[in-house]
Chains A and B, each alone.
Chain A
Amino acid sequence: MKVVFTRPQSLADVNTHYCPGCTHGIIHRLVAEAIDELGVAERTIGVAPVGCSVLAYNYFNVDFQEAAHGRAPAVATGIKRALPDRIVFTYQGDGDLASIGTAEIVHAANRGESITVIYVNNAIYGMTGGQMAPTTLEGQKTTTSPNGRDVNTVGYPIRVAEMLSTLVAPQYIARVAVNSPANIQKAKRAIKKAFEVQLNNNGFALVEVLSTCPTNWGLAPEKALKWLEENMIPYYPLGEFKVPKEVE
Chain B
Amino acid sequence: MSEKLLMKGNEALGEAAIQAGCRLYFAYPITPQSELPEYLAKRMPQVGGVFLQAESEVAAINMVYGAAGAGARVMTSSSSPGISLKQEGLSYIAGAELPCVVVNMSRGGPGLGSIQPSQSDYFQATKGGGHGDYRLLVLAPASVQEVVDLTILAFDLADKYRNPVMIMGDGLLGQMMEPVAFPAEEKRELPPKPWATTGWKKDRPKNIINSLELQPERLEMHNRRLQEKYARAAAEEVRWEGYRTDDAAIVVAAFGTVARIARSAVDAAREKGIKAGLFRPITLWPYPSAALAELADTAQAFLSVEMNCGQMVEDVRLAVNGKRPVYFYGRSGGIVPTPEEVLAEIEKAVNGRCEA
Contacts and interface: CB of A to CB of B under 8 A. Distances in A.
Nearest to B206: A63
19 contacts: A42-B199, A42-B202, A45-B197, A45-B198, A63-B199, A63-B206, A68-B62, A68-B65, A74-B59, A75-B66, A77-B52, A78-B63, A78-B67, A79-B66, A81-B50, A83-B70, A104-B62, A107-B55, A107-B59
A104 B55 contact: yes
B199 A83 contact: yes
Nearest to B203: A42
Contacts of B74: 78, 82
Which of B52, B63, B66 has the most CB atoms of chain A within a 10 A radius of its CB?
A: B66
A54 interface: yes
Interface in B43-101: 50, 52, 54-56, 58-60, 62-72, 74, 88-89, 92, 96
Contact of A103 (B55, B72, B201): B55
- Chain B interface bracket (under 10, 10 to 19, 20 to 34, 35 or more): 35 or more
Sorted from nearest, which 9 A-B pairs have the closest CB atoms? A78-B66, A74-B62, A78-B67, A63-B197, A78-B63, A75-B66, A107-B55, A82-B70, A71-B62
B65 A75 contact: yes
B67 A82 contact: yes
Give the interface SS of chain B, mostly helix, strand, loop or mixed.
Answer: mixed
Given A68-B88, A103-B59, A82 B206 contact: no
Interface string A28-59: 00000000000001111101000000110110
B62 A67 contact: yes
A55 to B, nearest CB: 8
B88 A74 contact: no
Contacts of A41: 200
A7 to B, nearest CB: 16
A74 B199 contact: no
Contact of B199 (A45, A47, A104): A45
Nearest to B26: A78
B66 A76 contact: yes
A194 interface: no
B211 interface: yes
Interface residues of A, number: 34
Given A65-B69, A74-B58, A78-B26, 4 more contacts: A42-B201, A71-B59, A77-B52, A103-B59
Nearest to A88: B66
Interface in B83-133: 88-89, 92, 96
A212 interface: no
B70 A79 contact: yes
A65 B199 contact: no
A241 interface: no
Contacts of B71: 82-83
B235 interface: no
Contact of A43 (B50, B96, B199): B199
A61 B198 CA distance: 13
B292 interface: no
A81 B198 CA distance: 12
B208 A79 contact: no
Contacts of B67: 78-79, 81-82
A107 B201 CA distance: 31
A57 to B, nearest CB: 5
Contacts of A74: 54, 58-60, 62-63, 65-66
A62 B200 CA distance: 6
B233 interface: no
Contact of A77 (B66, B72, B212): B66
B338 interface: no
Contact of B200 (A61, A68, A76, A78): A61
A67 B65 CA distance: 8
B319 to A, nearest CB: 35
Given A47-B66, A103-B55, A104-B62, A65 B210 contact: yes
